[in-house]
């Protein structure tokens, strides 16, 4: 295990030395704002094989949209946690709550809180950042000053319907890491009924899952580029949220990723997901989940009816390009729509 960790660090070091910064400069836009977007502190821009890079795809779509439509932004760049001390930017958007402190060279600091379980630190975030966007309407009502900016599809260029792959042909697919928020009775309620059929669990940590029966269905981490393949190859995509996400009513973007791939989604219900009633079947878990799996696995035409139109719904108003437009409006950045 220690040797693997050393090898991973050496690989990151080599890639950091060899790969140039992702830096976009628009022609004719000199002496304008430089935008920096900061990634999850656990995710390097140089993660080998893009095995873990969800935040990077969010940042890419967000940065490209802001740079393309906002004439005041002349350039933008992605930063991982190790690059935090080097950031010199006019506008910085932080996408993860425990990103290292930003240097004084950053003129305007913005946070977009998209993760449940951080509500106790929101007053501190409001002191550190000029504007704090939050993906939970519940938390926005609880903390005056937060600005609601809901979750969207991670990246609509990446997540789209693709050809099914026999290697991912299962009845039920779940994508997500195992944590305390997905353990014990909660996991039993929303995962055990799916063990009766062909189930694939993608994500880290499931080798220590409780109940232990779930461990036999774990397939390890899923490279990001195979996410759309997994969505398009399974019959049912199972979505259930961690306890912190449910407590803060902070849904996961994976649900929108699945819909963008026109997958049939069976999910636990949260108030913020009511807008998806037309495209998602909701379950309370346990016997209800078992009965709905039995029904929809034997009625493919009903699955298709639910999934049909889901991609268009996501593309119309639930991409990070849409979130970029709202972000620009709040920040007072002029936005020019383009054909």
The verdict on 75 and 143 lying in the same domain is yes
The verdict on 62 and 113 lying in the same domain is yes
- Residue 310 forms part of a structural domain: yes
Q: Give the rounded percent of residues in the chain with a pLDDT score beyond 70.
A: 86
- Residue 287 forms part of a structural domain: yes
- Residue 160 forms part of a structural domain: no
Q: What is d(CA 185, CA 286) in angstroms, rounded to the nearest whole number?
A: 10
The verdict on 182 and 287 lying in the same domain is yes
Range with lowest mean pLDDT among 8-12, 117-121, 127-131? 8-12
What would the pLDDT profile of 279-306 be if each residue is shown by its tens digit? 999 999 999 999 999 999 999 999 999 9
The verdict on 79 and 200 lying in the same domain is no
- Residue 6 forms part of a structural domain: no
User: How many other C-beta atoms lie within 10 A of the C-beta of residue 252?
Assistant: 23
- Residue 174 forms part of a structural domain: yes
Q: What is d(CA 164, CA 168) in angstroms, rounded to the nearest whole number?
A: 8
The verdict on 313 and 323 lying in the same domain is no
The verdict on 313 and 177 lying in the same domain is yes
Beta bridge partners of 239: 267
Q: What is d(CA 329, CA 323) in angstroms, rounded to the nearest whole number?
A: 10
pTM for the structure as a whole:
0.88
pLDDT at site 6: 61
The verdict on 88 and 147 lying in the same domain is yes
The verdict on 192 and 305 lying in the same domain is yes
The verdict on 241 and 299 lying in the same domain is yes
Number of domains making up the chain? 2
- Residue 295 forms part of a structural domain: yes
Domain span including residue 95: 15-152+319-331
What would the pLDDT profile of 35-88 be if each residue is shown by its tens digit? 999 987 655 555 544 444 567 888 889 999 999 999 999 999 888 888 899 899
The verdict on 170 and 305 lying in the same domain is yes
Alpha-carbon torsion, ordered 230, 320, 86, 88, to 10 deg: 170
CATH (domain of 36): 3.40.50
- Residue 197 forms part of a structural domain: yes
The verdict on 311 and 177 lying in the same domain is yes
The verdict on 326 and 312 lying in the same domain is no
- Residue 109 forms part of a structural domain: yes
Question: Environment class of residue 56 by beta-carbon count within 10 Å: exposed (0-12), middle (13-18) or buried (19+)?
Answer: buried
**Sequence-separated (6 or more) residues with CB below 8 Å from residue 4:** none
CATH (domain of 249): 3.40.50.2000
Are 61 and 314 contacting, i.e. CB atoms less than 8 angstroms apart? Answer: no
pLDDT at site 51: 42
């Amino acid at each position: 295990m220690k040797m693997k960790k050393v090898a991973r660090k050496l690989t990151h070091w080599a890639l950091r030395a060899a790969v140039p910064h992702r830096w976009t400069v628009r022609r004719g836009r000199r002496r304008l704002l430089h935008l920096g977007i900061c990634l999850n502190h656990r995710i390097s821009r140089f993660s080998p094989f893009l095995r873990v890079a969800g935040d990077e795809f969010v940042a890419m779509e967000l940065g490209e949209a802001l740079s393309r439509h906002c004439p005041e932004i002349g350039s933008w760049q992605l930063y991982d946690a190790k690059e935090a001390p080097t950031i010199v930017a006019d506008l910085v958007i932080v996408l993860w709550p425990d990103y290292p402190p930003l240097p004084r060279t950053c003129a305007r600091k913005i946070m977009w809180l998209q993760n449940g379980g951080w509500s106790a630190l929101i007053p501190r975030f409001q002191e550190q950042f000029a504007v704090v966007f939050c993906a939970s309407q519940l938390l926005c009502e609880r903390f005056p000053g937060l600005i609601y900016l809901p979750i969207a599809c991670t990246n609509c260029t990446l997540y789209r319907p693709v050809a099914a792959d026999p290697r991912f042909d299962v009845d039920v697919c779940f994508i997500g890491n195992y944590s305390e928020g997905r353990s014990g009775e909660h996991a039993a309620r929303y995962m055990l009924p799916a063990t009766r059929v062909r189930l694939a669990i993608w994500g880290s940590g499931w080798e220590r899952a409780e109940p232990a029966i779930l461990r036999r269905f774990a397939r390890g981490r899923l490279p990001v580029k195979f996410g759309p393949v997994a969505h398009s190859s399974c019959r049912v995509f199972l979505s259930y949220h961690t306890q912190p996400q449910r407590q803060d009513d902070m849904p996961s973007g994976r649900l929108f990723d699945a819909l963008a791939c026109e997958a049939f989604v069976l999910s636990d219900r949260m108030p913020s997901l009511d807008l998806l009633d037309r495209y998602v079947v909701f379950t309370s878990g346990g016997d209800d989940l078992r009965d709905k799996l039995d029904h929809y696995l034997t009625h493919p035409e009903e699955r298709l009816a639910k999934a049909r139109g889901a991609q268009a719904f996501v593309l119309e108003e639930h991409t990070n390009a849409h979130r970029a437009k709202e972000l620009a409006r709040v920040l007072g950045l002029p936005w020019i729509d383009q054909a």
